[in-house]
Structures are given as structure tokens and as C-alpha cells.
Chain A
Amino acid sequence: MSIAFEPVKLATPFFIATVILEIVLARAGKIRAHYETRDTAVSLGMGLGSQVAGVLTAGASFAAAVWVYQYRLFAIPMTAVWAWVALFLLEDMTYYWFHRISHERRFWWASHVNHHTSQHYNLSTALRQTWTGGLAGTWLLWLPLSFLGFPPAMVAIQKGLSLVYQYWIHTEAIRRMPAWFEAVFNTPSHHRVHHARNPRYLDRNYAGILIVWDRLFGTFQPELDEEACRYGIVRNLGGFNIFRVAFHEWIGIVQDILRQPRHTLGWLFGPPGWSPDGSRDTSARLKAQWAAANPAAAEASVPTPAAPQESRAGT
């Protein structure tokens, strides 16, 4: 099952051209970007694998959306401008919560972690996409949009547009966008924070297109000049094996469950870094430790009233 307009597929030549441009400009010293050859190969290989895996699971998720659409509450026309505006907002908020749960619960983190495994932050990192998203079932979060009455094809197009938007923000070449833009939209600066493993930056800036969701739900953290982003995950991978990148957290979950089956629910749905005896670090603990060691900096940090207690640590 497919739709006629697929933004990600159409944007692929643009992805390739801009990666070339970033590499060439960095080589010429015109912009800031670092590319490590094997890291680049893994990122691009994950992107290709994600497309293949997507073909295998997209049919099922799209069929589910079509099934739900039969029972829709409203008939929303695909041709109405207001419908696209409404879908833009609702889909972007759905993405925010999808992204947040993908960081704060280990089962979904296992699928998403690969996107964060690069210690680099360049346009190729954007293409380091999951192979197991379909199996993790996060596509279920988008079904309510079809239940509301948005045609499944319309939702799929908007999801694609969101992914394409999020591509260009994976770069160090752009320092800051104009203030008004930074206030409303997700930007390279905001997303660098999201990819950083510094304790103060962990589990922040989940936005897809609009950064306003993070501001609204208390997870916004601006990039600070005094603290450069260190990219990757709390426990970085030990090599460039693409299968390890894709499956290491799933393997870790299975190993933990086999070792302590009575804690299966905790191993599956606890925050990353959770352990029954507290011997591992969640990002909440890492942030608390950092705040205790740096009280002045912690005090100066932007308040986050709804800060999550979960983490992407320990991975």
C-alpha cells in the first residue's frame, strides 16, 4: 500500500546534495562540520536499512490507519487549508509525545537509540534512522488522527514533511537562526541540545517542527555558549558495527530479562538506565548529580516545571 506523494522519497536527492555540500564546505574550511568515515557509513547505512524496514512494516501500519479511519468521528476534507493547519499542529504534538516516550521508556528507546549513537552531529546523522520502529509500535500514536477524521494518506504526508523538516537541523554549520525563528521552531541549536549527552542537556528538546511543545510541556533547554554539546549517548558504543547500532539496546533488554525475569516490566518499561537495585544511572540521577556538583549553573538553568523523571541514560 502506498501513497502518491512521499516527501522523504522526493527529498532524497536533496539529502544527498546537501551532505555533499556540507562535506565540501567543511573541507574548504567554510563551515563547521566533522565527518568520521566509518561513522558516516553507519549513519547512511542505517538510513537505507530504515527505508527497507519501513517498506516491510509500512503496509501494516497504513492498513491499521485505514481500518481506524472507517470509524472516524468527522469527515475532514483533504483539500481544505484549515484541515492541513489543524493536522500540522496535531501531528507535530503527536510527534513530540512519540519522541518523548521514545526517550523516557526503554522499550521505545531501544528502537530510537540508534539515532543518537553517533558522536558526531552532521547532516548524515539525520539519516541514522531506526530499523525497528515498526516493531516498537509507536505508529499507534498516530492512529487517533485517523480516528478524528484525517485521511490516512494526509497523515502520512504530514509525517513525511515533518521528517524532511527535521533533516536540516542536524548540523553544526548553522549557529543560530533569527530570534523569532528560534522562539517558535525547532532549529539546529535546539536540536544540538537534544543530541547532547551533557547531563544538563539530557532529555530535552523533543520537538519535531515547533519548539513550542517543549516550552509548553517543560522540556525546553536552550543551547548555552558556556557548555558545548558533547554528542552521543551516555554510554557510547564501542565500535561501528551497524547491527550493534541497530539492535544493542534490544539485546541488552533481553539479557536483563533473562537474568532477572521477575523485573521484566521494569526492564521493558522503566526509564533507560533503570535497574532494580539502582546500580545504573538514569538521566534523572545524572542530572541530579550534575546539579549537586554545579549548584550555581543548575540554578541559572532554565526552569523546567514538568521535567521528566526518566532518562535516556544507561544506554
Chain B
Amino acid sequence: MNTAFFIQTAASGVAIALLVALAAWAKIARPGSPLTDAYARALFAQEFPGRILDGVWIAGDGAGAVAKSGGLALVLCQVGDAYMARQLPWAQALAASFRDGRVRIDLADAGAPCATLVMPAWPPQGLEKVRGVRAA
């Protein structure tokens, strides 16, 4: 590595900063709206085709959702102007920590270690009405 390399790298860094600033100014991310029940169900159907949803809970800020599908928890979480999805055992999801109105679900995945969702309560409200769940 020589001086030219460092100059070139520094110049590239400046160019990147300018391009990112331009992208921010342009505001051309995908148009999106907070998750609704119907929207979340459509995304769950896309991510987990064929799965029957016993119950769906939308995050208070519309930036994610949790669904129960048999013994599995299906999790949607907003990432920028898109979403990521994971599934995990329902019991594992129920064991998630809940603090200050946020549930933090451990996804045990190097690509997405956890999902943090704004929820009024955890375990989710109305769970006892969901098919396959016995009332406490």
C-alpha cells in the first residue's frame, strides 16, 4: 500500500458520503405505510406460504408484527423500507423480555439476532382467545 492508495481510498470515502447524502435528499425509498392487520397477513403469507395464522398482533408503531401459527411464532420486523421475517418456537417467543413497552425477541440468528417490537403487553393481549391456546 502506498500514498496513492490512501489518497484514492480517502477520495472514495468522500464520494460515498456525497452519494449517500444525495440518496437521502432524493427521498426515493419505497413508499410504505405502517403495518395493518391485512398488510401484515399479506406479508406473512408471502414469507410463510401455506401457514395458517392462529392470531396476529401488530406492533404499536406499525413497524412489525408477531403471528402464532401452531407451535411457531412468526415475526415480521421493519428494516428500512422493507421487512425481514423469522420463525421460532412459540414458547421461545413467549419467553422474550418485555420492558418499557417493547418486547425483545431473541431470534438466535447471526443475520438478525433479535427483533424489538412495540407492544402494549407481552405475552400478547387476547392470546387466550387464540385457537390452540388454553386460557390461563
Contacts and interface: CB of A to CB of B under 8 A. Distances in A.
A64 interface: no
A38 B111 contact: no
B20 A48 contact: no
Contacts of B27: 27
Interface stretch (B54-62, B78-86, B96-104, B118-126): B78-86
Most buried by A among B1, B23, B115: B23
A238 B19 contact: no
Given A236-B79, A238-B111, A51 B12 contact: yes
B60 to A, nearest CB: 19
A34 B81 CA distance: 10
A315 B111 CA distance: 8
A290 B49 contact: yes
Contact of B112 (A52, A124, A237): A237
Contacts of B24: 37
A35 B29 CA distance: 5
Contacts of A255: 110
B112 to A, nearest CB: 3
Contacts, number: 114
A20 B19 CA distance: 7
A166 B46 CA distance: 30
Interface residues of B, number: 37
Given A48-B9, A252-B111, A235 B23 contact: no
B1 A249 contact: no
A137 B84 CA distance: 31
B134 interface: no
A36 B81 contact: yes
Closest 8 pairs between A and B when the two form their complex, measured CB to CB: A238-B112, A236-B84, A119-B82, A251-B110, A27-B26, A35-B23, A252-B110, A44-B16
B22 interface: yes
Contact of A48 (B12, B23, B28, B86): B12
Contact of B49 (A16, A232, A240, A293): A293
